[in-house]
Every structure is written in C-alpha cells, then in structure tokens.
Chains A and B, each alone.
Chain A
Amino acid sequence: MEDPLAAIKITFFQECDEQLSELESGLLAMENGIADSETVNAVFRAVHSMKGGAGIFGFDTLISFAHTFETALDGVRSGTLSATAPVIAVFLRAADLLADLVRAARENTAGDEARINALRMEFDKINNSATVDNNVSAELSDSIKENQRNSDKIEEKLWKIIFTPDSTLYLNANETTFLLRDVRRLGKTNIEIDQSRLPKLQDLDAEGAFLSWNITLESDCSESDIRDLFEFVESDCTLEISLEITDGFKPGKVITGDNGFKFEFFTPVDEEEIQESNLLHSMQSDSEVKQLEVPQATTSLAIQNIKTKADSANVAVATIRVDLDRVDRMIDLVGELVINEAMLSQRVLEAGIARSSGVAMALEELEHLTREIQDSVMAIRAQPVRSVFQRMPRLVREVATMTNKQVKLITEGESTEVDKTVIERISDPLTHMIRNAIDHGLESTEVRLASGKPAEGTVKLTALHRSGRIVLEVSDDGAGINRPRVRQKAIENGLISSDAQLTDEETDNLIFLPGFSTAATLSNISGRGVGMDVVRQSIQALGGRISISSWPGKGSTFTLSLPLTLAVLDGMVVSAHGHTLIIPLGAIMETLKPRRKDVFPLDGDLNVLSLRGGYVPIVDVAFCLGYRSQYVDPEQSVALLVEGEGGSRAVLLVDEIHGQKQVVIKSLEANYQAVKGIAAATVMGDGRVALIVDVDVVVQRTGSDISKNLNELRHLEVSVGAA
C-alpha cells in the first residue's frame, strides 16, 4: 500500500515549486517598482506557506531560513522595512537559496550552511532593528525547547502576585493601570484592589501610596516574564510572586507537546471584557477607557481591509447557476417576510411595549436581519452593467463611420451592479442615447477643428451607485444643446407658446417631449421616428428619471437614475378619503399647497392649476379612483406635481402626505386582477393593503380630457391675460 505521508510529501514539493515561482515573479515585480500590498502579500504568503509545509516533515534548515526570510518580508508588509533595490536584491538571493534548500530537502541532503549564514547576516543588515528578528527567533527556539521538554502531562501554572507601589512610583509618572493591563496580557487574570491601608480623607497624604493589588494569573509564563513587566518600577514597589501548579484543561490553558506542538486554549474574549470592565470600575480611570477603545477600532479597520481584499479578488469567486424562477420565488418570500416583520413591529408598538424592552430590542435585531436578507436576496439578481457596456464600442464605431466623425468611447464603472431586468431594459435607451450623442451632440470634424477642439470627439459612458440608485451618464464633448433652435422647434410644434419664459434647464428638457426632433433632416441613425421622449418613457417605466445638463460649445450630459431593483419601490405614502395610497417617488416633481386663486375650472369636472405661468390639470385622486363622488376643495388638500412617462404633468390632490417609504411591490394581476389607474399594491405595517397609483394612467386620462378642452384653455388664457 502506498504510504500516505509519502504522497503528501510529493504534494508538498509540488506546492513548493509553485510557491517558488510565485515568489520569484513577485520579487521581480517588486524590483520593477510594483510594491503594492497585493504583490507583497503574495510573496510573503509563498514563503510562509513553504515554512508551514516544511514544518509537517521537520525540514528544520528550510523552516528556520524561511522564517528569517518571512520576518524580513513581514517588515516590508507592515511598512517597517522599505523595499529598496538593495533589499530586493537580498530577497532575490534568498529566494534562490530557498529553492536550493527545497531541493536539498527533497534529495535528503544537507543545506549549504555557509551560504545560509551569509544570507542571514545580510538580513540582519537590512533589518534596521536586528533585535526584532532575534526576538522572534528566540521565541521560535523557545517553542522548540518546549517540545524537547516533551511534556505529556497537562500542567497549569497559577501565579499569585501582590503588587504594592511606593509613592515614588507615582512621582516618577508611572501608571499602575498600564502595568496591570500588561499583566493581563500574560494570561487569564483576576485582579483585586486592596484598599485596607487607605486612610480617612482628613488623614490622607495626597502624594502618598496606600493601594495594593492582589493578582492571580493563569499563565505558562516564567517568573521573569512577570518581573520583566515591572522592570521600570522594580525599585518603586514591592512585588511578591508565588507559584501554584494545578492540573486541568480549561480556557487559558496552554498545552505543549513533542515536535514543537503548542496548543493554547484561549480565554473567551467576553470573559476578558467582563474582567476589563470590573477593573475599570475599581480604577475609575478615564485614560484606561481611551486606551481600551483603540484596539477595537483597529480590529474593525482590519476587517474592512479584509473585505476590500476579498472584493478585489472576486474574479476567482466560484459561481453556481440557479433557475431565475427560484430566485424570484425567494425574493417574493423575503418580501412577505419584510411585510410580516413590519406588521409585527407595529403590533408590538401598539401593544404599548417599551422600546427598551427585550422584546422591542429583539424585534429591532430581527428588523436589521430582515433588511439584510432582503438586500442579500436582491443582490442575487444583481449583475454588472458590463454586458451592456460591452456592446457599445461596436455601436460607436458603426455610428462614427456612418456620420463620418471620429469618436472615442470611454466607459467607466462597468462592474456597477443592478437588477437583471433593469440591465435588460436599459440597453435600448442607452443605445439610443449614445447614437444621439454622436449624431446630434458631436460636431463634424471640420467644425470641431475650426472651434479649436480635437478632431476626435469623446463620448463617455459612466455607471455608478448613488444613494441607493444606479446612475448612468452619457456625456459628449460636442456643441451642447442649441437652445434657440430647440425653442424655435418647440414653438413650431405647439409645445410652448411663443412668449413662454423658460430657463435654460427647461429649454433643454423640451427635447424629452413627445414628437420633438431637432435634426434638420431625419437621419438614418437617430431619427427613426423615435426621439428622446421614447428614451424617457422606457426609463420612467423602470421607475427611473432622466435629466440633461448642457454647456454651449462644451457638450451635454444625460443622466439616468434608476432603482437598483424592481421588487421594491420608493414611494410617498398619502391618504385620500381614508384610503392609504402610494405615489411612486420617481414620478413626483414637487409637492405644493394650492391656493384658490390659482385654480381655474374648465367644463365638466376638470380644474387646472396655474403654475409658474403654465396650466396643469388637477386630479383629485380619491375622486378619480371612485372613493368619493364629489370633487374635493383644492385648498383643503395637499398637491403633488407628478409627471407621467410621456412627460405630461398633472397635479394630484390628496388629503394628507405621510412621508416616504420603501415598499414591497405586490402584483395586482397576480393576486387579483388588473385595475386601471393602479400599478400594484403593497402591504403596510398595520397589515392593510395600500394601492400604488399608476401615475401614467392617471395623467394620461386627464391629458386626453384636457386636449378636448384645449380650446377653452387657450380662451381662458386670453381672458386671464386680459383681466
């Protein structure tokens, strides 16, 4: 039968070969100035790993040299040693020696002692503080000594220490807190303060020393280890140290065995914390508090680093394929969970249970957990926008050729993640926007050269996460929006009146109106009867918003802001005639309080609101949905200015606005049937169903109504103007 150990040994040498080549390529990279932490860590790990493996088989020469090497590399890693050219030269020679030592181990021959010693001396030289290395070596040889002791019996040392400072200790600015803390680092401690010598306040000498501490310490350290801690105060205190040996395996225990084995059973951190807080009580020292906070901060920082490291390496993360149906089912269930959790929380609050009670606190924990599950589940559907971005270079080349322009495409943020459905549905709008940017945004090469711009135009496509949404930007360095022409076109098409006062921003936004097209001739590329209004519609259908910024002569930037997921919705919770409704936040432009003098009745049930020189139809939501048969008095209501997909606006009247809320979308079609004017439903914390208003339908309905009354509106305009 094959000896399993021999097989493992073969594996070890194979790994050594891999690590040696990793080590060499890493060191060569460092030689070429690439000393980023990733490279240094890889180099360190290679040596460290060889050392660990060598330990299995007891290749002592290899272990000890790898250790010296590793210590120096750790210095580079932690920044105490800088990777200068001479240092890297030593590393490279050390790598060669390590390779030879591996070969020696494989062939069962001895390493070249002279060469090892020569390199050790070089390492000593580059380690500014050679003592550091010696200390670690000493510690290593300590553990070797321990295994020589070969103690099979479990032994526990219990130290009793009585520490009584003299007044000189305090006068020399020594701090007992720090000394006690150092003792605690040696092992499991119990520290008690002895105040028996403390005189009454009237007899107290403020500069005297009256306290002493009784310490029990469970540790395998030696007496000199303890005395070393008190080195500086040796002559300023009385220190009595005695030793008890007990048997038993319990937290804080250290077991040593042959072959360098050392097992240390940690005292759970919690226990230590309790001890620390006890100590704090008896000490009442502010400085100690501050001192204790520091390591915690560094720990969380370290974890952050780990996270970043894991993120940057996610290329190699293993994946599994899962049916989309399963994921969607899970998202559905998590939605239910979120709703149930919210209901439970509300019930608990209603039951009058204090927020500080255990139940409320456990609920809070549950809420965090639920949100986290929700985010994690949503993340399963998230994909990087890369797949869409990757199609764009080809598109840019094609459009550039057709328009005879020179175009450079820059993409940023390809790895930004967003829901799969969102990705599928932004492809067309993005394609359209990039076409537009090249066709309409960028000038012809001649014009660019004439205006002192580089012949090659730039189109930039960027994706990034901003406040819980994904933001996509398409910008060009072209001529910017030709505002006089846009205005002219809008007047021609009857979109604005000839005397309309528009800001630059409002003018720019005219291009999103249906049927708007400024290109003098409908070109092959951008003008297929679709304009920016179609782009806007598809973005709004996803719960997104689109806006434009333009700088004449410098270019334009289109900004899309989309929700990261379609399973939840940011909405405004409102009430209308006793019903709770949700208005999608993406559709809301502003909220206002209508004044009677701004409200003009048209015939039928229709009212319009005069808003900054224009007229916007008013929709009483409760009336529209059939909750009440009479129009509400606008002055008694709150109004939300909303905008539908087509860009048409309306003012929605509701009784009250309760605030923003993220809600889980429940399909009405799936659970009941489609209802006109209602997009979906959700369940509120109190368990009631709230309907999500389909703003587009509501706005369009009034749109058709208002077009019927357009003549009257114009007439009204005239009469108002005359009045």
Chain B
Amino acid sequence: MSVTVLTVDDSRAMRDMLQHSLAAAGFRVIQAEDGLHGLEVLASEMPDVIVTDINMPRMDGFGFIKAIRDDILRRATPVLVLTTEVDAEKKNRAREAGATGWIVKPFDPEKLVEAIRRVAA
C-alpha cells in the first residue's frame, strides 16, 4: 500500500515542490494551505505522515500539531516539521507541541523521502 503524505505549507511553490518530489517517490500526496485547512483535510483523510511548515496564516504549525495530538484518531500520525526556522526555541516548541521531527529547509528531496519512509513505518 502506498504511503499517503499530507503537506501543509502556505507557499504554493513549496507545495508544488513537495508534490513533485514526493510523488516521484511513489507517495500519494495531499495538500493543505495552512493549519486550519490541514485540519479540514484531516476530517476526511488519514495520511500516514504529515509534513508541515511552521509560519502560516490563520493557524500555524504549532497549533496544527497540537490539534493533531489532541485528535484521538490521528494522534499517532508522525508529523515532520519542514521549516526555514533554525531557532532552538521554536524547535523546542514544536517538539512540545508533539512534532516527530524537524527538517530545516532547503530540503534534500531524497533525504526527505527517506525520513518520511522511516517515520511512516
């Protein structure tokens, strides 16, 4: 069964890029534009892995991850943070919110795919 990845990023270019790289690896990719949209998508989808940005309008990555961890059906879904943030405090907040991993952009598509495969198991 193929792995479904939900990517949450407010940048269309970034979403397209993720779509391109992850689809090439055989993943099924679904997209959301920000945390709130991500939660809407999650109402009808059960991705195996979620890759989210931190800085987004309406609901940022911290709120999004927290909401996932509060969702009894989805709290076991690995969430990788993909961000340009290098700030340790932010990283810590993401971890406290329940992030599974922290990936600093710019990403290496192969490594990202590898990371997704590892946490999706």
A222-261 CB mask vs B (1 if < 8 Å, else 0) is 0000000000000000000000000001000001011111
The answer to whether B77 has its CB under 8 Å from any CB of chain A is: no
B58 contact from A49, A55, A257, A313, Cβ within 8 A = A313
CB pair A53–B13 under 8 Å, yes or no, is: yes
Interfacial chain B residues near A5, Cβ < 8 Å:
20
Q: Mark B1-45, 1 if CB is under 8 A from A, else 0.
A: 000000000111110110010000000000000011100100000
- Give A9 to B115 CA distance when docked, in angstroms: 25
- Give the nearest-CB partner of A143 in chain B: B104
Q: Which of B14, B63, B88 contacts A53, CB < 8 Å?
A: B14
A723 at interface, CB cutoff 8 A: no
Which segment of A106-114, A301-309, A339-347, A573-581 sits at the interface? A301-309
- Whether B55 contacts A302 by the Cβ 8 Å rule is no
Please indicate which of the listed interface residues B20, B55, B87, B95 has the most CB atoms of chain A within 10 Å of its own CB: B55
Measured CB to CB, the closest approach of chain B to A225, in angstroms, equals 12
Q: Which of A263-271, A323-331, A516-524 contacts B (4 or more CB under 8 A)?
A: A263-271
The answer to whether A12 and B13 touch across the interface, beta carbons within 8 angstroms, is yes
Q: In this assembly, does A393 line the interface, its C-beta being within 8 Å of a C-beta of chain B?
A: no
Q: How far does the alpha carbon of A58 sit from the alpha carbon of B105 in the complex, in Å?
A: 10
Q: Which of A67, A136, A295, A313 interacts with B57 by CB under 8 Å? A: A313
Contact partner of B100 among A55, A266, A306, A316, CB < 8 A? A266
Is the beta-carbon distance between B95 and A266 smaller than 8 angstroms? Answer: yes
- Known contacts: A260-B106, A306-B62. The answer to whether A52 contacts B84 by CB under 8 A is yes
Chain A: which residue is nearest B106 at the CB level?
Answer: A55
Taking a contact as CB atoms under 8 Å apart, the answer to whether A56 and B17 are in contact is yes
A52 vs B103: C-alpha distance when bound (angstroms): 12
Do the beta carbons of B104 and A262 come within 8 Å of each other?
yes
Q: What is the minimal beta-carbon distance from B87 to any residue of chain A, in angstroms? A: 7
CB distance from B96 to the nearest CB of A (A): 5
Beyond the given A258-B108, A266-B95, could you list 5 further A-B residue pairs with CB under 8 A, ordered by the A residue number? A56-B13, A185-B88, A261-B107, A261-B108, A263-B112
Query: Would B97 and A45 count as touching, CB distance under 8 A?
Result: no
CB contact under 8 A between A52 and B53, given known A15-B11, A310-B58 = yes
When C-beta atoms are compared, the residue in chain B nearest to A12 turns out to be B13
* Structural contact, A53 and B108, CB atoms closer than 8 A: no
| Shortest beta-carbon distance from A719 to chain B in Å | 70
Q: Which A residues are in CB contact (< 8 Å) with B14?
A: 52-53, 56
**Is B106's CB under 8 angstroms from A56's CB?**
yes
A185 and B99 CA atoms in complex are apart in Å by 16
Complex alpha-carbon distance, A472 and B108, angstroms = 58
Which residues in window 65-121 of B have CB below 8 A to A? 66, 80, 83-84, 86-88, 91-108, 110-112, 114-115, 118-119
User: Does chain B have a CB within 8 A of A51?
Assistant: yes
Take A56-B14, A303-B63, A309-B58 as given contacts and tell me if A266 and B99 are in contact as well, using a CB distance cutoff of 8 Å. yes
Closest chain B residue to A67 by CB distance? B84
Cα–Cα, bound, A12→B119 (Å): 29
Q: Are B102 and A45 closer than 8 Å at their CB atoms?
A: no
Given A263-B101, A266-B99, A269-B98: A255 and B111 interface contact (C-beta under 8 Å) = yes
Q: What residues of chain A lie closer than 8 Å to B96, measured between beta carbons?
A: 269, 295, 299
* Bound Cα distance from A263 to B78, whole angstroms: 14
- One of B62, B86, B106 near A58 (C-beta < 8 A): B106
Partner among B16, B55, B80, B108 whose Cβ is within 8 Å of the Cβ of A257: B108
How many A-B residue contacts, CB cutoff 8 Å? 139
Residues of A within 8 A of B (CB): 4-5, 7-9, 11-12, 14-15, 41-42, 44-45, 48-49, 51-53, 55-56, 58, 67, 136, 139-140, 143, 147, 185, 249, 255, 257-269, 295, 299, 302-303, 306-307, 309-310, 313, 316-318
CB distance from A231 to the nearest CB of B (A): 17
> Which of A15, A52, A267: most chain B Cβ within 10 A?
A52
A377–chain B nearest beta-carbon distance, Å: 14
| Chain A residues whose CB sits within 8 angstroms of the CB of B110 once the complex forms | 257
Q: Please, could you name 13 A-B residue pairs with CB atoms under 8 Å apart, sorted by A?
A: A7-B16, A8-B16, A48-B55, A53-B13, A55-B84, A56-B13, A143-B86, A257-B108, A259-B107, A261-B111, A263-B115, A268-B100, A310-B63
- In the bound complex, residues from chain A placing their C-beta under 8 Å from that of B66 are 303, 306
Q: Does B55 contact A45, Cβ atoms closer than 8 Å? A: yes
Q: What's the minimum C-beta distance from A617 to chain B, rounded to whole angstroms?
A: 54
- Cβ contacts under 8 Å, B40 to chain A: 318
CB pair A266–B102 under 8 Å, yes or no, is: yes
Identify the closest chain A residue to B37 (Cβ): A318
Contact A257 B13 (CB under 8 A): no
Contacts of B115 in A (CB 8 A): 255, 263, 265
CA distance A313 to B58 in the complex (A): 6
A255 to B115 alpha-carbon distance, docked (Å): 9
Q: Is the CB of A259 within 8 A of B106?
A: yes
Give the complex CA separation of A41 and B57 in angstroms.
8
The answer on a CB contact under 8 Å between B93 and A49 is: no
Closest chain A residue, CB of each to CB of B86 = A139
Q: Which residue of B lies closest to A7 (CB)?
A: B16
State whether A45 and B17 are in contact (beta carbons under 8 Å apart), knowing that A15-B12, A55-B105 are contacts in the complex. Answer: no
Identify the 4 closest CB pairs spanning chains A and B, nearest first.
A55-B106, A306-B63, A261-B108, A12-B13
With CB as the reference atom, state the residue of chain B lying closest to A313.
B58
B57, closest chain A residue (CB): A45
A216 to B40, CA, bound (A): 43
The smallest C-beta distance from B94 to any residue of chain A, in angstroms, reads 8
- CB of B86 within 8 A of CB of A140, answer yes
- Measured between beta carbons, the chain B residues less than 8 angstroms from A269 are 95-96, 98
Q: Which residues of A contact B36 (CB under 8 A)?
A: 310, 317
User: A185–B92 Cα gap in the complex (Å)?
Assistant: 9
Q: Report chain B residues within 8 Å CB of A42.
A: 57
CA separation between A146 and B17, bound complex, in Å? 23
